[in-house]
Structure 1
Amino acid sequence: MSIKKSKAPEYEIIDDRCDTIRYLEHGFPSELIRWHAHDDYELHLIVATKGKVFIGDYIGSFSPGQLILVGPRLPHNWVCQNDQEPAEVRDMIVRFDHESFSEGMKIIPEFGELLPLLARAKSGIEFLNFDLEKMIDLFQSIRDAQGLSKLMLTLSLLDTLASCHNYRLLSTVQIDLKSNEALQGKINTVVDYVTQNYNQDISLSNMAQLIGMSDSHFSRFFKKATGNRFIEFVNRVRISRACNLLTESDLQIAVICFQVGFNNIANFNRRFQELKGVTPREFRYQHSLSSA
C-alpha cells in the first residue's frame, strides 16, 4: 500500500474557505494531533499507527482502517501509543461545512438525502467492514481532484455512507454552542479533563471551579450544552473505557471497575447495565462470541 503525501500541510489548507470540499492530512508525530472541535464535518480515514480515539464521551481504540465521520463542535482526538514509528501520512481527512448542504437543498433537493447522515454525525459515526484499499484510493482521488470533480467524488462517497447500515454511533455528547466560542472552550476544557482523568475522583464542584462558574450555573450550563447531566457524562466516559478494557484485556471485572474510576462493584454493574443493557460479564461474553 503506497500513500503519497500531499504537497501542502494541513495548516496551510484549513483557512481556504473557497472550496466546498477540503482535503487535509497529517502524519505522526504532528503538532496537529490535539483535542479540538470546529464548525465543520470531518471524515477521518486512519491509515497508520495505533492508539486511543476520543470522540465526545467515547473512548475506544484505533488502528489503520478506521473511518469516522465527526460532526460540527464534537470534540475529538486520536492519541497514538508512545512506541509508534513515525508515519508520513497517518490521517486522511475530507472536510466540509453544513451550510453548503443546507443551502444547496434550496436549489438541489437531492442534497436533502444526506441530512440523516449529517444528523447522525453529531454523535460521531464509525463505519465498519469496508475495503480499505478502495477507500484509500478514493481519498487520494479527492485529494488530487479540483473544483467540481472534487465535489462530485465527495458526494458519491457521502451517498455511499448515507446508505451504509454497517456503522455505530460513538458519543452521547452533542454539543450545541456554535455561536459562542468562549462557552465552547469551557465545555472542551471539561470534556478534555474528564476523558484524561476519568479514573480519578471528579466532582461537579471541581469542574465548576475549573471553568470559573458556580456549582448551580455549571450544572445548568453543562446540561444545556451537552444534553447530559455532568455525573451522567462522567459515568458514560468511564463505562466507555470499561467496554474497551472488557474487550481488549483479560483483566477481572472488579479490577476494571476500579481502574475506570468507580468506587464499588455494585454501582459499576448498575451503571453499566443502565447504559449497555447487559452486565459487564454478559458484555464480555457477547463480544467473545462475535469475535470467534
Structure 2
Amino acid sequence: MFQSEKQSFIFDSVHLAPEEQIGLHQQSTWEVCHIIVGAGMRLIGDRTEPFQSGEVVMVPPDIPHCWYFNNHVTDSEGRIANTAVMFSTDLLDNCSAVFPELGECISRLKEKRDAVKFDREKSVAVASILDEMRYVNAAERVALMMRLLPLIASTDCESVVGKYRKIDKEKNRLNQIQVYVVCNARREISLDDVARHVGMNRASFCVFFKKATGKTFVNYLNEYRIELACKLLEEKKMAVSEICYQAGFNNVPYFNRVFKKLKGVAPTEYKCC
C-alpha cells in the first residue's frame, strides 16, 4: 500500500496465502506489525528467529526485514493475517511541533535504532489499537495514532529482535535461501522452487550457490534435513521410517544412505546411542 498526499501515515490489513507475503525489503518509514494468524521465521537486520501468532514487532527505518510464513498455521481459508501501520520520521517531527505534549515521548521513539518485539501485555495493548483501525475511517485513525505513539515510545516491555546491517546482494540471497530451507525443509523442495524464490533461473542458481558455499544445494539441503532427523531421533518417540518423512525425505532407503554417509552410522544405531 502506498502513501498518498492525503495520508500522514499508512495502515494496512492483509489476509492472504502464506507465499503471497512480501519478501525481504527495507523502507524509509517506521513499521509496527501485528501477526494475527501465522507462524514461521522472520529475518530482521542481523537476526533470523521463529515467530508465532500474536507477535507485535516495531521496525525502525532502513532495517531489512521479512516474515516467512509456513503453510501449517493458517485460518480456515488457508490464509495468514496481519495488520501494520507505517509512518515517517517527518510525521513524528510534525506531531511534536503541533502537540508539544507528545514531544518527550517522540524524542524517546526517535532514539530507537533496533527492531524490537513487545512483551505480551504491551503487544495486547498495541494490537488492540491496530485492530480498532480496521473498523474506522482515515480521519478516525488519526486519534488512534495519537494513542499509539506514547505506547510504542516507552522503552520497557520490549526486547531487541534485529539490528541494522548493510547486506550485499550475495549475502541477501544466501539469507533468503537459509530461511526458505528452514521454513520448507519438511516438504518437497525443487531446485526450481528455491531458484524462483531468489529471482534466479535454475542454472544460474546452481552456479551461484556452489561458488558461495562450496557445496551443491542438494547436499546443503540434505545436511540440514539430517540434522533435523537427529533432533527427532534424540527424542526417541518416533520410528525411523516416520522420522524420514518428518525430516523431508520421501524415500527410506535413500534417507538411510544419506544419514550413514553424513553421520557414520545408520539411523537405528544413532537412535540407540
TM-score category by the smaller chain? Answer: 0.5 to 0.7
Equivalent residue number for residue 33 of structure 1: 22
Q: Is 1:118 the equivalent of 2:110?
A: yes
1:51/1:89 CA distance change after superposition, 3 Å: closer
* Residue 33 of structure 1: how far off its partner (Å): 2.3
- Cα deviation, 1:187-213, whole Å, max 9, x if unaligned, reads 4635523423569xxxxxxxxxxxxxx
Distance in 1, Cα, partners of 2:38 & 2:94 = 38
* Residue 71 of structure 1: how far off its partner (Å): 1.2
Distance in 2, Cα, partners of 1:84 & 1:147 = 31
- Cα deviation, 1:119-171, whole Å, max 9, x if unaligned, reads 32x31111012276665442121233334431221221221232351101222
TM-score w.r.t. structure 2 length? 0.56
- Which of 175, 178, 192 is residue 195 of structure 1 equivalent to? 175
Contact residue 13 and residue 83 of structure 2 kept, 8 A: yes
1:41/1:87 CA distance change after superposition, 3 Å: farther
Equivalent residue number for residue 164 of structure 2: 173
The aligned length equals 180
Secondary structure of 1:196's aligned partner: helix
Distance in 2, Cα, partners of 1:115 & 1:251 = 52
* Residue 78 of structure 1: how far off its partner (Å): 0.6
Equivalent residue number for residue 55 of structure 1: 44
Q: Is 1:143 the equivalent of 2:134?
A: yes
Distance in 2, Cα, partners of 1:147 & 1:91 = 18
Secondary structure of 1:43's aligned partner: strand
Equivalent residue number for residue 12 of structure 2: 24
Secondary structure of 2:92's aligned partner: helix
* Residue 19 of structure 1: how far off its partner (Å): 1.5
Which 5+ residue runs of structure 2 have no aligned equivalent? 180-226, 235-273
Distance in 2, Cα, partners of 1:193 & 1:61 = 19
Equivalent residue number for residue 67 of structure 1: 56
- In structure 2, what residue type is equivalent to 1:196? Q
Distance in 1, Cα, partners of 2:233 & 2:137 = 50
Distance in 1, Cα, partners of 2:31 & 2:233 = 35
- Cα deviation, 1:89-120, whole Å, max 9, x if unaligned, reads 51111111111112332333333322322332
Equivalent residue number for residue 273 of structure 1: none
Q: 1:192-231 counterparts in 2 under 5 A?
A: 192-196=172-176
Secondary structure of 1:16's aligned partner: coil
- Cα deviation, 1:71-95, whole Å, max 9, x if unaligned, reads 1111111101243445555111111
Contact residue 51 and residue 78 of structure 1 kept, 8 A: yes
- In structure 2, what residue type is equivalent to 1:21? F
Secondary structure of 1:170's aligned partner: strand
Contact residue 11 and residue 86 of structure 2 kept, 8 A: yes
- Aligned-pair Cα RMSD in Å: 3.1
- In structure 2, what residue type is equivalent to 1:167? E
Q: Which moved more, 1:123-132 or 1:68-77?
A: 123-132
Secondary structure of 2:97's aligned partner: coil
Which 5+ residue runs of structure 1 have no aligned equivalent? 1-12, 176-186, 200-244, 253-292
Q: Is 1:94 the equivalent of 2:81?
A: no
Contact residue 42 and residue 51 of structure 2 kept, 8 A: yes
1:146/1:50 CA distance change after superposition, 3 Å: same
Work out the percentage of aligned pairs sharing the same amino acid: 18
Max Rg structure: 2
Q: Which moved more, 1:80-89 or 1:47-56?
A: 80-89
